[in-house]
Amino acid sequence: MLTRAAGMAAAFVAGLALVVAAVLVVRHITEPSEPELPVVPDTRRPVLEAAVRGACSPLSVPLLAAQIDAESGWQPDADSGHAQGISQFSPVTWKEWGKDGSGDGKADVWEPRDAIPSQARYMCHLYEVVKAVPGSGTRLGSTRLALAAYNAGPNAVLRARGIPKILETQEYVDKILTDLLPKYEESEERYQRSEAKHRRTDRASAAPSAPSAPSSPSPSTDPSATASGVSPSATRQP
């Protein structure tokens, strides 16, 4: 009887475990996973951060990253036929704004270390140009106009007194500001949180450990202990 009862209990427990496991699997499948976000490639981060540090205040790592993503998908050999490199400069614009950033003495549109800082400087110039255009009084408004000028040319924006009615330019601006920029902003927040955590861990690992308090000698090792193992203080009368 006891054996049969034990077997039924074991079967019940096993069945319950299967039900719980099934519930957990279903929950894992149906729960929304954290969205995958675009990230700044590790090989491009140093030059991108340096370009933003030396640029005008409207520029940020997420904004410049979103623009590069829209321009070339981070491909340094991108060639649309009229624009080249990771930042997609036209030959005419590169001749004026391209500068050596890698230190090899040559301004190369195909070299990201040259192109990305040049892109940042050119964007800062465009922010100044569009100040004369209606709608540039806010950070978002001036960014929209500067991006449109990067894509269509500053003269097109000045003539239109706003974003020109060019479908490619309109889609370019919307893609960056509506789609890519929010994702890169979230991606950058995750990156900075992760870096801060790593720095805290490194500091904790490098910090010297606190010296341990000296231990009191035990009665067995106290030289003042009596032969019987009891210290004089324990037997002293008041």
The verdict on residue 68 lying in a domain is: yes
Q: Where are the alpha helices (DSSP H) in the chain?
A: 2-30, 45-53, 61-72, 91-97, 112-129, 139-152, 154-160, 167-174, 181-206, 232-235
The verdict on residue 125 lying in a domain is: yes
Q: Tell which residue, 129, 159, 155, has the closest CA to residue 142.
A: 129
Q: Is the pLDDT of residue 4 over 70?
A: no
The verdict on residue 228 lying in a domain is: no
Residue 201 binned pLDDT confidence (cut-offs 50, 70, 90): confident
The answer to whether the pTM exceeds 0.75 is: no
Range of the structural domain that residue 128 is part of: 45-202
The verdict on residue 10 lying in a domain is: no
Strongest mean pLDDT among 20-24, 191-195, 201-205, 218-222? 191-195
Q: Is the pLDDT of residue 34 over 70?
A: no
User: In this structure, are residues 112 and 86 in contact, taking their beta carbons and an 8 Å threshold?
Assistant: yes
The verdict on residue 9 lying in a domain is: no
Report pLDDT for 224.
45
Compute the average pLDDT of residues 18-38.
54
Alpha carbon 67 to its chain's center? 15
Which residues are within 8 A (CB) of 88 and not within 5 positions of it... i.e. 6 or more apart?
71, 72, 78, 80
Q: Is the pLDDT of residue 129 over 60?
A: yes
Report pLDDT for 128.
97
**Burial 154-175, CB ≥16 within 10 A → b, else e:** bebbbebebbbeeeebeebbeb
Q: How many domains does the chain have?
A: 1
Q: Percent of the chain scored above 70 by pLDDT?
A: 72
User: In this structure, are residues 107 and 118 in contact, taking their beta carbons and an 8 Å threshold?
Assistant: yes
CATH number of 144's domain: 1.10.530.10
The verdict on residue 148 lying in a domain is: yes
The verdict on residue 196 lying in a domain is: yes
The verdict on residue 165 lying in a domain is: yes
Q: Is the pLDDT of residue 148 over 60?
A: yes
User: In this structure, are residues 93 and 118 in contact, taking their beta carbons and an 8 Å threshold?
Assistant: no
Beta-carbon-side half-sphere exposure of residue 55 (alpha carbons within 13 Å):
26
Q: Which residue reads 């614009």 in tokens?
A: 93
Compute the average pLDDT of residues 27-44.
74
Report pLDDT for 205.
82
